[in-house]
Structure 1
Amino acid sequence: MVTEAQDNGRASGLRGGLGELCYSSGLLHTLQRLRAWWLKDLRVLAYHRIMPLPDPATYDFDLELISTSPERFREQMMMLRERFRPMRLSDVAQMIEAGKTIPADAVVVTFDDGYDDNYHIAFPILRELGVPATFFVSTGHIDTGKPYAYDWLVHMILLAPADARLRVPELGIDTPVPTEREERRALGTELLSRMKEMDALAQSALIERLQLEWNLPADHTPAECRPMTWDQLREMHAAGMEIGSHGVHHRMLSKLPLADMEFEVQHSRDTLLRELGPAVGLMSYPVGGDRAFDDAVVKATREAGFAVACSYICGTNPEPASNRYSLYRLPVERNMGPGWFAAMLTMPSLMSYPTASRVPAEAQAEPCSS
């Protein structure tokens, strides 16, 4: 049984404290009006999971995927509705096509992966408040109901036998799995970060190898990491939510062989058309940092008929027509109180976390204008 952690609602860190101060002083309203007059940039919020914050001592999956609690999510969506202009991502795509300027204070809400708490918790709140959102799903996981590989990796490290060793010769890792749970979480975080330098098929092989070594096969899906179903997605789609692609198997597209990458892009698009019918093609690159997509991925995305694509690079989009296939987003994290969240939307360059570049500047994908 998972125990729910108590959230005291206090601001976290320097950004959180500054955000709460600006929020409580009323300064943000003035700053927002000034910014809307000066800069009409598109803000895209990035969420993963919405769920009661669990106790780390009893939760056997990746805590970093939890964006916020249901209560805070409701507060955030109410703030969007009252102070900003929530927009559908497909409407943004159509405005780009028409050469129109994105309106001031435009905000798009997006979710990555396709966990079923998106349906059970986020969707009812969005529907009640009339806030549109785009859910990017990895279609292979929706098809099979199997757990997501990165989350399963953290799960395995948390539950590995007491005498287990983590051997990853590709990364020069050979270490006993720690006894303490907090240290196991830290090891999982480190491994997730480092293994994303490997090619995508090698990542999959590593996870499969550890399943065999530790006898923790991903042949069942615990309730805590279950993907949505197509019936749930059809219900959400019929209610006005948008469903986009997050690939087939949640693999880093730029780290796949060309044929496999093109399959991930095209097959995910074909599956969405088959299950949900015609719609504006919307893509979010799995992992989404600058090492997760490149010119070849952008080209495949355009040729598959997608109208826009989101990265996971932190920032806003002053001219979204110039980077429509690499839209920047603002990640929402579980330690954000209402003040920090409001301040991030009002002063994103100051209040959001910068994304560290993982590839040389000359190797980064160029923005696309059409």
Structure 2
Amino acid sequence: MPLTSLAFIGAGGFLSPGGASGCLTVLTYHRVLPQADPLQPPDQIDAASFDGHMTAARSCFNVLPLPDALDMLEQGKLPRRALSITFDDGYEDNHSVALPILRRHRLPATFFICTGYLGNGLMFNDVVTEAIRRAQGPHLDLSWLGLGMRPVSNIAEKQGLSKELVQFVKYLPLAQRQATCDRLWEACAGQNARPPLMMVPEQVKDLAAHGMAIGGHTHTHPILTKIGLDEAREDIVRNRQALRDITGSTPSLFAYPNGRPNTDYTREHRDLVKEAGYRAAVSTAWGVATRESDIFQLPRFAPWNVSPTRLTLQLLKNAHKGRQAVSA
């Protein structure tokens, strides 16, 4: 074992203790791309970098299935340097790229799936990114959005515009968000088919068959604070039932879409998730979970596309400073 790994393990035993005072780090990923894509945000990691992350995780941490880790957390029996791995949304590359890497390293993970996009669906952020990818320069007329003429003649310009538009449409009402994405696609890509970026149900079932946990992530990925409570309840319940139909097992874990407390979900939505029958839920607030954490508002850590050494340092820092409670 490299000396750096031994040093990290020693530091991790102090910064991420076990037992009754133990803490659990939960990593969150979305896509694992075959190769780096300059149009994607930095949190969309490529296969080589993800493999490095998993090497570091296996070398320096005790990687646990999230359901088991939560049992140990509640019982005060976590090992030192406890870590779980999660994925959000249900991208096809989770199965074709991430799963083989996880299996090679013999690591478990939990996949939170939006059932409404499985098969031929495409999430709104990907409609934006893939539309801008296909835009023909030098400019794109976005005056219908109040954004005027925007340059799209090179990758850097497209990358900046894609990031801006994703944030622009994210918090629109669901129907308006869909209509905006449809019009943007038509303006940039015409009648071309949208790329199939999401898993099909058979791939979700295969993840479960390989021992991966499957969790809920709503059916249509709404920002829960932007829809009514009855609509939110229906979307949460529909998603859970669909996952049960696909895998033959009712999911016990849930991830809030976008996941920021008091911005993307509130205490009322936390209670809806509990009412739906889930045993725990994760947010995207940074930190580590402890026995004092709200089991329905667990923090996670989103690693940027960094080297394995820097990732380990980030995780240890997060374990040391991330014990504040998450509360909506």
Structure 2 stretches lacking a partner, 5+ long = none
1:159 to 134, 139, 157: 134
Equivalent residue runs for 1:1-370 within 5 Å:
27-37=7-17, 40-54=22-36, 56=38, 62-67=40-45, 69-95=46-72, 99-142=75-118, 144-162=119-137, 163-167=139-143, 169=145, 172-214=146-188, 216=190, 220-222=193-195, 226-290=197-261, 291-319=263-291, 322-334=293-305, 336-348=306-318, 366=327
Q: State the alpha-carbon separation in 2 of the partners of residues 83 and 350 from structure 1.
A: 16
Question: Is the CA contact (8 Å cut-off) linking 1:295 and 1:365 kept in structure 2?
Answer: no
Distance 1:80 1:176, change over 3 A: closer
4+ long deviations beyond 6 Å: 349-352
Q: State the alpha-carbon separation in 2 of the partners of residues 308 and 174 from structure 1.
A: 45
Question: Is the CA contact (8 Å cut-off) linking 1:146 and 1:220 kept in structure 2?
Answer: no
Distance 1:246 1:37, change over 3 A: closer
Letter in 2 for 1:43: T
Q: State the alpha-carbon separation in 2 of the partners of residues 81 and 27 from structure 1.
A: 15
Question: Alpha-carbon deviation of 1:261?
Answer: 1.4
**TM-score where L is the length of structure 1:** 0.77
Distance 1:269 1:37, change over 3 A: closer
User: How many residues are treated as equivalent by the alignment?
Assistant: 320
Q: Secondary structure of the residue that 1:31 maps to in structure 2?
A: helix
Letter in 1 for 2:24: L
Q: Secondary structure of the residue that 1:109 maps to in structure 2?
A: strand
**TM-score where L is the length of structure 2:** 0.86
Question: Is the CA contact (8 Å cut-off) linking 1:49 and 1:115 kept in structure 2?
Answer: yes
Question: Is the CA contact (8 Å cut-off) linking 1:157 and 1:177 kept in structure 2?
Answer: no
Q: Secondary structure of the residue that 1:46 maps to in structure 2?
A: strand
Q: State the alpha-carbon separation in 1 of the partners of residues 224 and 190 from structure 2.
A: 26
Q: State the alpha-carbon separation in 1 of the partners of residues 320 and 92 from structure 2.
A: 33
Distance 1:201 1:349, change over 3 A: farther
Letter in 2 for 1:344: Q
Question: Alpha-carbon deviation of 1:351?
Answer: 9.7
Structure 1 stretches lacking a partner, 5+ long = 1-22, 353-363
Question: Is the CA contact (8 Å cut-off) linking 1:344 and 1:350 kept in structure 2?
Answer: no
Deviations 1:179-230 (A, max 9, x none): 333112102112222433433443223212323444546x7342xx521122
Q: Secondary structure of the residue that 2:142 maps to in structure 1?
A: strand
Question: Alpha-carbon deviation of 1:92?
Answer: 3.1
Distance 1:104 1:183, change over 3 A: same
Distance 1:35 1:339, change over 3 A: same
**Identical-residue share of aligned pairs (%):** 26
**Aligned equivalent of 1:355:** none
Q: State the alpha-carbon separation in 2 of the partners of residues 318 and 241 from structure 1.
A: 23
Q: Secondary structure of the residue that 1:306 maps to in structure 2?
A: coil
Distance 1:40 1:350, change over 3 A: closer
Question: Alpha-carbon deviation of 1:240?
Answer: 0.7
Distance 1:26 1:95, change over 3 A: closer
